[in-house]
Chains A and B, each alone.
Chain A
Amino acid sequence: MSGNRPEAGGSGGPQAASPGSPVSVEEARGLFAAELTESEAAASPRGGFLPADVAALKVRWLGKKQGVVTALLARLKEVPKEEKSAFGAGVNALKQEVEARLDALEAEALARAAALAEAAKAVDVTLPPRVPPVGRLHPLTVVRRRIEASFRGLGYEIADGPEIETDWYNFESLNFPPDHPARDAVDTFFVEGGGTGRDALLLRTHTSPVQMRTMESRKPPIRVLCPGRVYRKDDIDPRHSPVFHQMEGLVVDEGITFAHLRGTLAAFAKSFFGGRAEVRLAPTFFPFVEPGVDCAVSCAFCEKGCRICSFSGWIEIMGAGMVHPNVLAAAGIDPERYTGFAFGMGIDRITMLLHGIPDLRLLFENDVRFLDRTWS
Chain B
Amino acid sequence: MKFRLEWLGQYLPGELPDLATVRRRLTDVGFIVEGTEGEGGDAVLDVELTANRPDGMNHRGLAREAACALGREFRDVAAPAPAEGPVAAASLATVTIEEPALCSRYSARVVEGVRVREASAAVQGRLQALGMNPISSPVDATNHVLWDLGQPLHAFDLDTLSKGADGLPAIVVRRARAGETLVTLDGVERTLSPEHLVIADAERPVALAGVMGGLHTAITPSTTRVLLESAHFSATAVRKTARLHGMHTDASHRFERGTDPATTVEGLNRVTALLVADCGGTVARGVIDTLAREIPPKVVKLRHARLVSFLGMDVPFARCVEILTALAFGVAEVEPGVLSVTVPSWRIDVDQECDLIEEVIRVVGYGALPEALPPPFNPTWSEPILAREDRARDLLAAAGFVEACSYSFVSADENAPFVSAVEGSAPVISNALGEPFTTMRSTPVIGLLRAARHNVRRGLSDLALFEVGRSYALVAGHPVESRRAAVLLHGRRGTHWAAESRPADFYDGSGAVAALFAGFGAASPELRPATIPFLAPGRSAEVVADGVVVGWVGVLSGALATAWDLGEAVVADVDVAAIPVPPPPSNVEMPSRFPGSDVDLTVTHPLTMAWKTLESAVRNGAPAELLRVDAKYLWRGAGVADGFVKTTLTVAFGSQERSLGRDEINRWRDEAARRLLLVPDTAVDGIA
Contacts and interface: CB of A to CB of B under 8 A. Distances in A.
B43 interface: no
Interface stretch (A32-40, A92-100, A186-194): A186-194
Given A235-B433, A282-B27, A193 B455 contact: no
B257 A181 contact: yes
Contacts of A363: 405
A140 interface: yes
Contact of B454 (A191, A221, A365): A365
Contacts of B406: 364, 366
Contacts of B400: 132-135
Interface stretch (A23-31, A54-62, A249-257): A249-257
Interface stretch (B114-122, B124-132, B285-293, B471-479): B471-479
Nearest to A138: B403
Contacts of A334: none
A83 B235 CA distance: 140
A201 interface: yes
A293 interface: yes
B30 interface: yes
Nearest to A243: B407
Interface string B403-439: 1111111000000000000000001111111000100
B408 A163 contact: yes
Nearest to B354: A290
Nearest to A341: B374
B135 interface: no
A325 B351 CA distance: 11
B407 A267 contact: no
B440 A128 contact: no
Given A140-B405, A363-B405, A364-B406, A191 B374 contact: no
Given A145-B390, A164-B472, A229-B408, A369 B399 contact: no
A108 interface: no
Contact of B496 (A128, A134, A155, A264): A128
Nearest to A241: B407
A295 to B, nearest CB: 9
Given A263-B372, A264-B373, A160 B366 contact: no
Contact of B397 (A135, A251, A255, A256): A135
Interface extent on B, as a size class?
35 or more
Interface string B376-393: 111111110111001001
A260 B374 contact: yes
Nearest to B256: A181
A349 interface: no
Do most interface residues of chain B lie in helix, strand or loop, or is the interface mixed?
Answer: mixed
A302 B342 CA distance: 47
Interface string A358-376: 0000011111110110000
B433 A371 contact: no
A135 B50 contact: no
B52 A369 contact: no
A136 interface: yes
B240 interface: yes
Interface string B339-364: 00000000001001011011001100
Contacts of A158: 382-383, 386-387
Nearest to A265: B371
A258 B379 contact: no
Interface in A3-17: none
A258 B371 CA distance: 9
B464 interface: yes
B236 interface: yes
Contacts of A262: 366, 369-372
Contacts of A182: 51-52
Given A189-B432, A260-B374, A282-B32, A138 B382 contact: no
Nearest to A262: B369
Contact of A242 (B382, B399, B433, B464): B433
B144 interface: no
B481 A223 contact: no
Interface in B285-317: 309-313
B402 A135 contact: yes
Given A155-B378, A371-B403, A366 B498 contact: no
A215 interface: no
Contacts of A203: 408, 429
A191 B427 contact: yes
A291 B362 CA distance: 8
A86 interface: no
Contact of A280 (B310, B355, B367): B367
Nearest to B405: A138
A154 B349 CA distance: 34
Nearest to A281: B366
Given A184-B51, A293-B366, A368-B402, A322 B479 contact: no
B51 A259 contact: no
Nearest to B483: A160
Contacts of B372: 257, 259-260, 262-263
Given A181-B256, A184-B51, A259 B403 contact: no
A145 B390 CA distance: 9
B358 A291 contact: yes
Contacts of A364: 405-407
B653 interface: no
B222 to A, nearest CB: 38
A89 interface: no
Interface in B446-477: 447-448, 450-451, 454-455, 458, 460, 463-466, 469-470, 472, 474, 477
A355 to B, nearest CB: 14
Nearest to A222: B377
A366 B469 CA distance: 15
Given A233-B433, A285-B51, A366 B405 contact: yes
B448 to A, nearest CB: 8
B53 interface: yes
Given A221-B377, A367-B458, A372-B402, 18 more contacts: A133-B464, A138-B403, A154-B373, A155-B377, A157-B383, A185-B51, A191-B427, A201-B427, A242-B437, A243-B407, A251-B374, A256-B374, A257-B309, A257-B372, A258-B361, A267-B371, A285-B51, A365-B451
29 contacts: A137-B394, A141-B393, A157-B383, A159-B382, A179-B239, A181-B256, A185-B51, A189-B432, A191-B427, A192-B430, A201-B427, A227-B386, A233-B433, A242-B433, A251-B374, A255-B375, A257-B310, A258-B310, A258-B369, A280-B367, A282-B30, A282-B366, A285-B53, A363-B405, A364-B406, A366-B404, A366-B451, A367-B454, A368-B402
Q: For the complex of A and B, list the 6 residue pairs with the smallest distance between their C-beta atoms, beginning with the closest.
A: A133-B400, A257-B312, A259-B312, A283-B30, A135-B397, A366-B451
Interface of B: 27-30, 32, 50-53, 235-236, 239-240, 256-257, 309-313, 349, 352, 354-355, 357-358, 361-362, 366-367, 369-383, 385-387, 390, 393-394, 396-409, 427-433, 437, 440, 447-448, 450-451, 454-455, 458, 460, 463-466, 469-470, 472, 474, 477, 479, 481, 496-498
